Amino acid sequence: MKVKEVMSKDIVSIKPDDNAREALELLMKMEISGLPVIDEKGKLVGMFTEKDILKNTLPSYIEKVGKFVYEENPKSIRRKLQHLSHMKVAQLMRKDVVTTTEDTTLCEVARIMLMEKARRIPVVDKITKLVVGIIARGDVLKALAKEAEIG
């Protein structure tokens, strides 16, 4: 099975200039972990994910401080979340996005997802580079499981 048989084609996307807070609300409303960011020309410029928002909210030095436990929420958390309404999607999105194409095999997509720790991968057209769909980890697993049952 190939990506084009599994991917969802009605892509909800956001623009780099969109307000970060509104984009987050959209994420929560849709109950998904990330959205592709596409500019006016239809080119994929980034992914806006829950993980990146959380990463921006918590202090950047937490990885380097070593073992500790937060017993309270630091004051900075609330401030940073409130500050989201003054930020643009472009400031928070991750810019190096892994993509795939319609003719890629599901196993290859699964491999990319594992290697790159990505949950949702945009599918782009080989020639025009425009986004034609998006494929989620759940879609891949579901399709693979279904295939195994038939076999």
Partner 1 sequence: MLKKFIILIAISLGLGFFSQKIGLNPHQAIAISIFSASVLGTLFFWDFRLGFVFIGITVLLLTRTIDLENVIKFASLDVILFLVGMMVLVGLLKEAGFFAWIVELILRIRNMTGRKFVVVISVISALLSTMTSEVVSIIFMVAAIFEICDYFEVDPVPYLIISVLATNIGSAATVLGNPIGILIASKAGLSFEDFIVKAFPLAVVCLVATILIVIVWYRKSIRELDTNIKKLGANEILIRLISVPPGKELKISLAVFGATLFFIALHHRLELLWNLEPNTILLTMPLLSSGCVMIWKWKRARDYIEKDVEWWTLLFFMLLFAQAGALKYTGATDVLAKNLAHLSGSSPPILIGIVLWVSCIGSSILDNVVLVAAFIPVIQSFQSLNLDLQPLWWALLFGGCLGGNITLVGSTANIIALGILEKEKNIRMTFFRWFWIGLTVGVVTTIIVWIALIILPFYH
Binding residue for partner 1 (CB under 8 A) from 10, 40, 41, 60?
60
Q: How far is the CB of 117 from partner 1 (least distance, A)?
A: 18
Among candidate residues 91, 96, 141, the one with its CA nearest the CA of residue 114: 141
Residue showing tokens 């599901």: 106
Interacting span for partner 1 (CB under 8 A) from 2-10, 23-31, 68-76, 127-135? 68-76
- Within 10 angstroms of residue 23's Cβ, the number of other Cβ atoms is 22
Q: How far is the CB of 70 from partner 1 (least distance, A)?
A: 6
Rule CB under 8 A: is residue 61 a binding residue for partner 1? yes
Strand 131-136 relative to strand 44-49, pairing: unpaired
Interatomic CA distance for residues 133 and 126, integer angstroms:
12
- For residues 50 and 58, the answer to whether their CB atoms sit within 8 Å is no
Rule CB under 8 A: is residue 51 a binding residue for partner 1? no
Interacting span for partner 1 (CB under 8 A) from 35-43, 71-79, 95-103, 112-120? 71-79
Interatomic CA distance for residues 5 and 103, integer angstroms:
9
Rule CB under 8 A: is residue 54 a binding residue for partner 1? no
Rule CB under 8 A: is residue 64 a binding residue for partner 1? yes
Interatomic CA distance for residues 83 and 21, integer angstroms:
9
Residue whose CB is less far from partner 1, 76 or 128: 76
Binding residue for partner 1 (CB under 8 A) from 31, 40, 72, 96?
72
Residues near partner 1 (CB under 8 A): 59-61, 64-72, 74-76, 79
